[in-house]
Chains A and B, each alone.
Chain A
Amino acid sequence: MMYGTNRARNQKAETSYRGYQRSNAGPLNYQTKVRITDRYKVIGFISSGTYGRVYKATGRQGQTGEFAIKKFKPDKEGEAVVNYTGISQSAVREMALCSELRNHANVIRLIEIILEDKCIFMVFEYAEHDLLQIIHHHTQTPRHPIAPGTIKSIMYQLLQGVQYLHTNWVLHRDLKPANIMVTSSGEVKIGDLGLARVFKQPIHNLYMGDKVVVTIWYRAPELLLGSKHYTTAIDLWAVGCIFAELLSLRPIFKGEEAKMDSKKTVPFQKHQMQKIVDVMGLPTRERWPLLASMPEYSQLSTLQPPLLSTNTSHSHGGHHPYGHRSQQQPPASQNTHGNLQKWYHQTTVSTPLTSLGAEGYKLLASLLEYDPEKRLTAADALVHPFFTSPTSTPLASLNSNTANSTSQGTGAAAVNWSPTNCFEGLKNETYPCRRVSQDDNDIGFGTGTGNQSGSRVNTAAAGTGTGLVMGQAQSQVQAMGGSLGNIGGHGHGHGHGQMGGGGMGQGMGGLGQGHGGMAQMAGMKRMHDAAAAAAAAAAVAAQQSHPNKRMKGSQG
């Protein structure tokens, strides 16, 4: 991966793709040059989903380390190859994006892609854990919170990965614990770019492409309210939800998804929105100026205000669940956070998590900000005091008149954490390895014999809800060839989502120009020589005048 100043010469591809060759027999028989089973030895089966299956493997040809091989199956189960409908859009996206985004420690790295018969094998670096599995481990008896340093490190690395995606104009759109991998050395890696897509300007109605994105528990309020012009902020909401889940070991907004009706219209997710309101209070136009322009704005009136917080949040002298209520009001955002502060207090009190202090609450509140324009960006979050300040401020001081760490007598100690290893310093915690089943090691399938492996049910992996890697069953869009209204399957274990996928998408619209005919160039023809010479001359002149100035053009 060299990013020299010179142009790459294409001499050395990073991956060895195995192409197809026409056989002499006829034009239709493309022969795979190298088979997946020649290059990799499958150790076991990890998980399956609507897209296909994931296997753990080692290299047969000297590759070091372990690998996760994601196999996209060519067809829906049981359908004949005759009905082959092309590579799904999510597979195309994932192949394309993973090929570009290979240069960040916190995004799962693609090793190579092998196309064989009608299957696509995407080979990734292997990650021993994922956040879902880690959370699950902590709910086992005795239920015990994740170490504060681990949470801090996970959040930091996750945000680094998200920032990398966003600076590369990629929205992930499906961040959730199951999609966040963790290696045995504590590196956090964002996985499953199957729903990710590019949003580069103009941010133009991404809604048309995939009507529903993000598994429901992690879905941002603007999406729930029907916004069609969503932004990177939707990923940050999901990060906030993940943060909360790392703290409490439960999804913070565990709503039930309303199913699409037969007309394929997207229903208002009232239950999910109510779950958010229960903790965050009702969104207001003061806090979120564009709220009233949300398509589902009128639906807000059908929701119940949160039980405890509506009054207190507007009467500053009211009872406060803990601590002192400040006379001097904290930033305006304080009032409408409903019960979040209470939630945070109850979650962290009397546990090691108190050491995350007030900054932890503030970061959480800024990620779970209703207004997407005010919501923290990944870059902002990375320089939040939660990460940058050497010691944490006790939570109680948040509302204290004398807000300083000594006044409470509970000055929080610094949390030790590493920005690159979320397991650093852990002594009494051993996370179980990913479950790998031996039931199905049959990754490939012989030409013409059909795929037997896909139909097997693997109880070992499916039953636990853990051990899923790279996007489990839930909610993978199978937008086969862009057919309208495909519904993704349900997940198991944790989280379920339903995606209407791949409708007649409208991507980024450009300018409205059509193909310019040659006619427009009529004048140009006559100017060939002059223009060429002039351009050359101008160019030389421009170059001479400022030979060393920095290129300021933006590359689009």
Chain B
Amino acid sequence: MAANYWESTQRKHWLFTKDELAAMRAKLESDDPGLVSSFPLPQLRHLNIYFNQQSPTYLGFTLEINRLGKRMGLRQQALATAQVYIKRFYTRVEIRRTNPHHVLVTALYLACKMEECPQHIRLMANEARGFWPTDFQSQTEVARIGECEFYLISEMSSHLIVHSPYRTLTSLQGELGLAQEDVNLAWSVINDHYMTDLPLLHPPHVIALTAILLALVLRQDPSGRLPGTAASASGLVAASAALAQAQAQAQARAAMMAGGGQTVPGLAPQSSSGLQAMLPPQSPAGEGPADGNKNPRMAKVHRFAAWLSDSNIDIEAMVDCTQELISFYECHEQYNDKNTREQINRFVKARGLDK
């Protein structure tokens, strides 16, 4: 949110390559192999989903009490920042040495302060006790959060300002001519990316642009000129997605080959046609009864493509983001909340971290 991203601590200290991230995590685990093998945990993304899903419920409840519940933008920002705090913290500290619920509450508490929506520590503690009675059972939970706050800040080297993709998204809304629905979908994609490693791997603007790309592509809706009809959005999306899938795949392959070194005439060299490759040709079914003009949504994607190709944006990074997100949505299918919760509670109890 703050200051200047290019000179930020986020860019200088909290962006890693995948290898670096893996090495840091391996090092944490190798420090105590016995601990790791005694308490198996779900894959990291599932833990992230757990944190992600616990946080809003918990925070939402807290904020409602403060009549802040309606201020979703603010709430989202604090939630996002808290999730980044948790991610950063667990690159430095083995999760099995902590009580993740303490870390979660503390990260939210700190993030709310940082994002200028401070909540009283006592309120946070009381809500936490209601939410996880076994982890916050004693009367000392305020001190516990206070202590954990030091721990968190210390491990994060006091680097508390987090730049989020939301701002890039909103600032580009006008320039890219994004409809509110595009923004909403991109916003959701950004929400979801906090359940992946992406915040530690890529700058926020790359993530925002990827989210916009996905939103534009996914909302390509041949029937888009009949908005608000009873044919619900999900049906249309599903239909168009299925349609697009078949068509885009073939073209994408061609484009990828072109990207592999050979120039396919009429594809890449055109300056403003970067995204043409991924666009399905106008389908007869999708044309609708109208005059056969280009689908306005296509124009939007084209405009975005032109804009991207004019930017010196790290396209490789966008590709990687896209793949991470897609694979995350697949992995989300296998998420088991109960199992995750149990595995966390197991090491917390066994190691007395709830006392």
Residues of A within 8 A of B (CB): 3, 7-10, 13, 15, 17-20, 22, 26-28, 30, 81-82, 84-87, 89, 92-93, 95-97, 99-101, 103, 113, 115, 118, 167-170, 197-198, 200-201, 209, 479, 481-483, 502, 504-546, 548-556
Bound-state CA distance A504–B123 (Å) is 13
Q: Can you name 22 A-B pairs with beta carbons within 8 Å?
A: A3-B7, A8-B12, A27-B353, A82-B143, A92-B113, A97-B3, A100-B161, A115-B154, A168-B4, A482-B120, A502-B118, A508-B116, A510-B166, A523-B241, A530-B248, A533-B278, A534-B278, A539-B315, A540-B315, A545-B270, A549-B309, A554-B172
Bound-state CA distance A473–B71 (Å) is 35
Is B20 touching A10 in the complex (CB atoms < 8 A)? yes
- The answer to whether residues A523 and B312 also contact, given A513-B76, A529-B249, A531-B214 and a CB cut-off of 8 A, is no
| Min CB gap A538→B, angstroms | 4
Residues of chain A within 8 A of B151, CB atoms compared: 19-20, 30
Bound-state CA distance A197–B114 (Å) is 9
Of all chain A residues, which has the CB nearest B213? A535
Q: A506-B74, A541-B309 are known contacts; what are 20 more A-B pairs with Cβ within 8 Å?
A: A22-B97, A86-B146, A89-B113, A96-B114, A96-B161, A482-B118, A505-B118, A508-B116, A515-B79, A521-B329, A531-B214, A533-B248, A539-B308, A539-B316, A540-B258, A543-B316, A549-B309, A550-B312, A552-B312, A554-B172
Residues of chain B within 8 A of A86, CB atoms compared: 109, 113, 121, 145-146, 149
Residues of chain B within 8 A of A536, CB atoms compared: 252, 256, 259, 319, 322-323
Stretch at the interface among B40-48, B183-191, B292-300: B183-191
Residues of chain B within 8 A of A82, CB atoms compared: 143
For residue B54, CB closer than 8 A to chain A, the reply is no
| Min CB gap B293→A, angstroms | 22
Chain B CB within 10 Å — which of A81, A200, A539, A555 has the most?
A539
Chain A CB within 10 Å — which of B6, B77, B245 has the most?
B245
Bound-state CA distance A416–B268 (Å) is 60
Residues of chain A within 8 A of B147, CB atoms compared: 28, 30
Chain B CB within 10 Å — which of A28, A514, A535 has the most?
A535
Chain B CB within 10 Å — which of A96, A527, A550 has the most?
A527
Within 8 A of A (CB), among B115-153: 115-122, 140, 142-147, 149-151, 153
Is A507 touching B329 in the complex (CB atoms < 8 A)? no
Is A3 touching B117 in the complex (CB atoms < 8 A)? no
Chain A CB within 10 Å — which of B116, B165, B309, B322 has the most?
B116
| Min CB gap B283→A, angstroms | 14
For residue B84, CB closer than 8 A to chain A, the reply is no
* Chain B binding surface SS class: helix
Is B252 touching A542 in the complex (CB atoms < 8 A)? no
Residues of chain B within 8 A of A22, CB atoms compared: 97
Is B308 touching A542 in the complex (CB atoms < 8 A)? yes
> Which one of B154, B159, B185, B252 contacts A537 once the chains associate, using CB atoms below 8 Å?
B252
Residues of chain B within 8 A of A505, CB atoms compared: 116-118
Bound-state CA distance A531–B216 (Å) is 11
Of all chain A residues, which has the CB nearest B151? A20
> Which one of A96, A521, A526, A549 contacts B2 once the chains associate, using CB atoms below 8 Å?
A96
Contact with A along B250-286 (1 / 0, CB 8 A): 0111111011000000011111011111100000000
Of all chain A residues, which has the CB nearest B309? A542
Residues of chain B within 8 A of A13, CB atoms compared: 13, 157
| Min CB gap A367→B, angstroms | 24
Of all chain B residues, which has the CB nearest A523? B237
Bound-state CA distance A121–B167 (Å) is 32
Of all chain B residues, which has the CB nearest A510? B73
Of all chain B residues, which has the CB nearest A526? B241
| Min CB gap B136→A, angstroms | 13
Is B170 touching A19 in the complex (CB atoms < 8 A)? no
Bound-state CA distance A95–B2 (Å) is 13
Bound-state CA distance A85–B146 (Å) is 7
For residue B344, CB closer than 8 A to chain A, the reply is no
For residue B61, CB closer than 8 A to chain A, the reply is no
- The answer to whether residues A556 and B2 also contact, given A523-B238, A545-B268 and a CB cut-off of 8 A, is no
Ranked nearest first, the 10 interchain pairs of A and B with the lowest CB-CB distance are A516-B188, A482-B118, A556-B167, A510-B73, A507-B116, A540-B259, A534-B278, A542-B274, A523-B237, A537-B255
